[in-house]
Chains A and B, each alone.
Chain A
Amino acid sequence: KAGVTQTPRYLIKTRGQQVTLSCSPISGHRSVSWYQQTPGQGLQFLFEYFSETQRNKGNFPGRFSGRQFSNSRSEMNVSTLELGDSALYLCASSLRETQETQYFGPGTRLLVL
């Protein structure tokens, strides 16, 4: 079974631009979560979607948004990029609604110049 896939893998943007990242969960998984990982802060939770509904949201500004499609694929969008948004963005999927555990994708490395 294929794992979680994320596109693109690498991205370079400039301040003020916006970016959209994509995540395809493991086949059959309906819960998708997004995380930001930086050397200083570690893994920080952005939001979680299940059946196209955002169920949980971390403590990030409104510039960070996401959505989930009927096939469980998910996108996250960051508008008005700031230098501090440079990070590895990770997507994780869970099989069940109860999310006992999560499986991560390889991540999208975003560099904001």
Chain B
Amino acid sequence: QKEVEQDPGPLSVPEGAIVSLNCTYSNSAFQYFMWYRQYSRKGPELLMYTYSSGNKEDGRFTAQVDKSSKYISLFIRDSQPSDSATYLCAMSAGFYLLGSGNQFYFGTGTSLTVIP
């Protein structure tokens, strides 16, 4: 079983729609959760960063973490054609052993297309 599972899509929505992207994970030690947006032939860009459970909102983007269900979501309101990209979830347990470094686990990404 992979550490992080993410539906690859592709997902196609009309402009203005609410988009829901999701990831599930198996490691209960994960406590840092991130969403990245990656345009074609570019590096991932950090969109949202959340520590532990709860919601975080930034403009049209809302990240939700439900640690009890091991489930995280990213909602995009009023979606725009410029939101068309691949969205990657990422998570880590955190740096709890001095000197060991931290390791991040990524989903395979969901491809989103917003149609004008």
On whether A48 and B42 interact (CB within 8 A), knowing A100-B51, A104-B36, the answer reads: no
Residues of A within 8 A of B100 (CB): 55-56
Do the beta carbons of B94 and A104 come within 8 Å of each other? no
Do the beta carbons of A107 and B34 come within 8 Å of each other? no
Question: Which residue of B is nearest A107, CB measured?
Answer: B43
Residues of A within 8 A of B107 (CB): 42
Q: Is B64 an interface residue (CB 8 A)?
A: no
Question: Which residue of B is nearest A4, CB measured?
Answer: B43
* A100-B102 Cα distance, complex, nearest whole Å: 8
Do the beta carbons of A55 and B99 come within 8 Å of each other? yes
Do the beta carbons of A102 and B108 come within 8 Å of each other? no
Q: Which of B54-90 contact A (CB under 8 A)?
A: 88, 90
Do the beta carbons of A100 and B32 come within 8 Å of each other? yes
Residues of A within 8 A of B103 (CB): 45, 48, 56
Q: Is A25 an interface residue (CB 8 A)?
A: no
Q: Shortest CB–CB separation between residue B103 and chain A, in angstroms?
A: 6
Q: Is A64 an interface residue (CB 8 A)?
A: no
Interface residue SS majority, chain A: strand
Q: Shortest CB–CB separation between residue A31 and chain B, in angstroms?
A: 8
On whether A99 and B42 interact (CB within 8 A), knowing A42-B106, A43-B106, the answer reads: no
Residues of B within 8 A of A109 (CB): 41
Q: Shortest CB–CB separation between residue A20 and chain B, in angstroms?
A: 19
Additional A-B contacts beyond A98-B102, A104-B46 (14; CB < 8 A): A6-B43, A42-B107, A50-B101, A56-B100, A56-B102, A56-B103, A90-B44, A98-B95, A99-B101, A100-B32, A100-B51, A102-B34, A104-B43, A104-B44
Residues of chain A at the chain B interface (Cβ within 8 Å)? 4, 6, 31, 33, 42-43, 45, 48, 50, 55-56, 90, 94, 97-107, 109
A-B contacts, 16 listed (Cβ < 8 Å): A4-B43, A33-B104, A45-B104, A56-B102, A56-B103, A90-B43, A90-B44, A97-B95, A98-B102, A100-B51, A101-B34, A102-B104, A104-B36, A104-B44, A106-B42, A106-B43
